[in-house]
Amino acid sequence: MNILVINCGSSSLKFQLIDSETEKCIAKGLCERIGIEGSQITYAPANGEKEEKLISMPDHTEAIRLVLEALTNEKTGVVKSLSEIDAVGHRIVHGGEKFAVSTLINDEVMKAIEECNDLAPLHNPANLIGIRACQALMENTPMAAVFDTAFHQTMPAKAYMYGLPYEYYEKYKIRRYGFHGTSHSYVSKRAAQFLGEDYNHMKIIVCHLGNGASVSAVKNGECIDTSMGLTPLEGLIMGTRSGDMDPAIIEFLAHKENKNIDEIMNILNKKSGVYGLSGNISSDFRDLEKAAADGNEKAKLTLDAFDYRVAKYIGAYVAAMNGVDAICFTAGLGENGSTTRERICNYLGYLGIELDSEANAKRGEDIVISTKDSKTKVLVIPTNEELAIARETSLLINAK
């Protein structure tokens, strides 16, 4: 079965066509600056040349039309016609409490996703636009919704409730939801499989360290806690997001800087994190590592603060699970940042962790980076959210 995976943002759209039998990516690409001047489509068939084309994309329907045109193009396409695309899997950011699992899309599901718009005002409306654009162009193709929040729905109430008046949970569903669920699920399952152990009898901590970053505690195959909250702002210090902080800072800053709530939230989401803390050096850890190596004190402090926060979350989740069998690193920094992994593991001697420096220097493969004698296993598992979405979609279609 050929499954088109769509990850639709407010002005961008990532896509991958995946053969669900071989689990190979047939083609992938990206539409950027949708609805903005200078829009561009990048298309890369697995067995051909990557193409980049500047082309007007006034809306997402046009972007999807161009994606489908690229996939079916006579010369560079990978399928002869749209009938060879058997299903579409959509990444949906927020499923609220309604969606604990992926689901086939129908009118009722669309309505329920729309009801979660309040919880993810930047993401869910864009995800819905992506679904509608596909429906308009591929009328009879079945589609599935795979939610970033679903994997975390197994968290117990003691982990997801905030210390706020209960009525806000009842009225507005204010609670912790967690994100990157597709990645945490994929990586934790893969780690158990790679180690040849039973997923349902393991305690696993997944550190998804990318531009957005989160940690999760997965006990006996279920997520029991994760670092992101109502929104992706909570938890680790991220590329540009602050992560955990005293909420009173919002009022303090608003008064001192004479800014309104929207302006403060923009600072917390876009101008903070390692970018802000480093004095605007960069949100990219490669730049920060370089600046730190060149002796920049703010860059050093930023990396220290980032690593320390990750190590603290790991400690908290060891306590939450009363132990840990495996710690996994994934996403851009988790997969590539060998020095970050080493510095974080330096905090974890109490878990009997010893890193194998040769294995830690490798890249691009599932690998155990702890020594044979290490009491807790440490792994790098490259995440593959698109494949996870394709798998979920294929399961739903086959179960129809």
What whole-number distance in Å separates Cα of residue 4 and Cα of residue 201?
Answer: 34
Of 149-157, 225-233, 280-288, 368-376, the window that binds ligand AMP (rule: CB under 6 A) is 280-288
Report the side by side order of strands in the sheet with 143-147: 51-54, 40-45, 24-32, 13-19, 2-8, 87-92, 143-147, 103-104
Distance of closest approach, residue 232 Cβ to ligand AMP, in angstroms: 12
Of 160-168, 223-231, 283-291, 302-310, the window that binds ligand AMP (rule: CB under 6 A) is 283-291
Residue (62 or 289) nearer to ligand AMP, CB: 289
Task: For residue 293, give the H/E element and its range.
Answer: helix 285-293
| Contact with ligand AMP (CB under 6 A) among 9, 89, 96, 332 | 332
| Contact with ligand AMP (CB under 6 A) among 15, 186, 275, 285 | 285
Residue (201 or 363) nearer to ligand AMP, CB: 363
Residue (210 or 235) nearer to ligand AMP, CB: 210
| Helix then strand then coil, % of the chain, to nearest 5 | 45, 20, 40
**Residue 219, helix vs strand vs coil:** strand
Tell me: does residue 179 bind ligand AMP (CB under 6 A): no
Applying CB under 6 A, the site for ligand AMP has a residue count of 12
Tell me: does residue 239 bind ligand AMP (CB under 6 A): yes
Residues 76-135 contacting ligand AMP, CB under 6 A: none
Catalytic residue of the set 107, 118, 148, 307: 148
| Contact with ligand AMP (CB under 6 A) among 3, 17, 331, 353 | 331
Residue-wise DSSP of 4-68: EEEEE-SS-EEEEEEETTTTEEEEEEEEESTTSTT-EEEEEETTS--EEEE----SHHHHHHHHH
Structure tokens at 191: 């780690």
Residue (62 or 284) nearer to ligand AMP, CB: 284
Distance of closest approach, residue 242 Cβ to ligand AMP, in angstroms: 16
| Contact with ligand AMP (CB under 6 A) among 284, 342, 354, 366 | 284
Tell me: does residue 211 bind ligand AMP (CB under 6 A): yes
Report the side by side order of strands in the sheet with 367-368: 222-226, 213-219, 203-209, 326-330, 377-380, 367-368
Integer CA distances (angstroms), 330 to 39, 56, 96, 232, 380, in order: 30, 35, 25, 17, 6
Helix axis angle for 297-321 and 338-346, nearest 10°, is 60
Tell me: does residue 286 bind ligand AMP (CB under 6 A): yes
Tell me: does residue 154 bind ligand AMP (CB under 6 A): no
- Active-site residue flag, 294: no
Residues carrying an active site annotation: 148
Residues that bind ligand AMP (CB under 6 A): 210-211, 239, 283-286, 331-333, 336-337
